[in-house]
Amino acid sequence: MFCNRAIRNSKTLEISKTQDDGSLKILNLNEAVSGSWFNLINPTREEIQQVSLVLGLDESFLNNSLDADELSRMDFEDGNLLIITNVPVMDEEGNFDTLPLGLIFTPESVITVCSHENKIINSFNADTAKFFDTRHKANFMLSILFRAAKFYLRYLNIINKQTESIEDSLRKTTNNKALFQLMEIQKSLVYFTTALKDNQLVLQKLLRMVHTANLQRILKFTEDDIDMLEDVIIENKQASEMVEMHRTILESMMDCMASIINNNLNLVMKFLAAITIIMSIPTMIGSFWGMNVPMPFGQNHFGFLIVITISIVATFIAAVFFNRKGMM
């Protein structure tokens, strides 16, 4: 039951409800009625206390979704349902991560809780109001989960383009910046893999419990909702398989780049070794004739030129030899 207590609104707390004409109406906390959607983005402690008071929820139920390391799960408590799903996010630098999104369902309302703004929740607004209904909790929940799976696929397409661009760059020159970018992408794919696997477990559990009394009392699943849930599971599985495929490709690319770098290093070392040997030949010959003992051509008027010629010829022969061996 809602508590008739006037409480201020906040930019991190937005309350709305779908109207009969399909529009989305923004409400104040003291105007909240059955079928309302409470959206909390990085809420303050005061805001959590206010919503908890209005909806009669335990504060921990709201705080769980604010933990960055929270795993996807489903939980019942005092007739309320908590579903935590991990959704994909992209920062300003183009790096990808996941963060928990809490979906809380009471008999009267829907609450979404997240520590940061994200495009999944932001896509449910007045402009897209005709595509969802806050009064139909099961359909609204599935719309959010379906949107999250779609964003995984969308971000994977971006990652694929980034990978191709980096690959083209590495074909021309190997630089540390490109390799660090590949490492960031690899880390993002690890986050995606873990999140999608956990999300899939929650969706499968939801499908198994769809006809149970507890779930039906809160969400009131229809046959269309069950069909949509199966579509969400398929979409999530597709995203999971795509992530695995991209991870495999990226790991192969990283291994290939490591081999190329090692091969280039070996070529450089072989070249330097060949140069060192070639440069040591005239030094060695010069040191022989520099000994304070009788040497060939020592009394010859052209001895110096002869020694220089021998050094040049020996150096040239060594250079030709190493060049034919592919060391230069």
pLDDT at residue 72 is higher than 90? yes
pLDDT at residue 190 is higher than 60? yes
- Whether the CA torsion 320, 322, 325, 328 is positive or negative: it is negative
What confidence score (pLDDT) does residue 311 get? 83
Note if the pTM is more than 0.85.
no
Token pair belonging to 300: 């010859």
- Distance CA(289)–CA(293), nearest Å, equals 9
> Which pLDDT band holds residue 239 (cuts at 50, 70, 90)?
very high
Q: What is the mean pLDDT of residues 40-63?
A: 90
- Check if the beta carbon of residue 64 is closer than 8 Å to that of residue 86: no
Closest to 257 measured CA to CA, from 190, 156, 192, 166: 166
Q: What is the mean pLDDT of residues 68-81?
A: 90
pLDDT at residue 312 is higher than 70? yes
Degrees (nearest 5) of the Cα angle 27, 30, 35?
55
pLDDT at residue 276 is higher than 90? no
What confidence score (pLDDT) does residue 133 get? 92
Burial 291-318 (b: 16+ CB within 10 A, else e): eeeeeeeeeeeeeeeebeebbeeebeeb
What confidence score (pLDDT) does residue 170 get? 77
pLDDT at residue 7 is higher than 50? no
pLDDT at residue 11 is higher than 60? no
Q: What is the mean pLDDT of residues 268-274?
A: 85
Degrees (nearest 5) of the Cα angle 83, 87, 93?
155
Contacts 24+ apart (CB under 8 A), 210-219: 214/76, 214/81, 215/81, 217/79, 217/107, 218/79, 218/80, 218/81, 218/105, 218/106, 218/107, 218/137, 219/81, 219/105, 219/137, 219/138, 219/141
DSSP 8-class letter at 96: E
What confidence score (pLDDT) does residue 299 get? 67
What confidence score (pLDDT) does residue 1 get? 39
- Check if the beta carbon of residue 181 is closer than 8 Å to that of residue 158: no
Q: What is the mean pLDDT of residues 52-58?
A: 88
> Which pLDDT band holds residue 226 (cuts at 50, 70, 90)?
very high
Q: What is the mean pLDDT of residues 19-42?
A: 88
What confidence score (pLDDT) does residue 9 get? 38
Share the mean pLDDT of the chain.
Answer: 86
What confidence score (pLDDT) does residue 304 get? 75
Degrees (nearest 5) of the Cα angle 10, 14, 19?
145
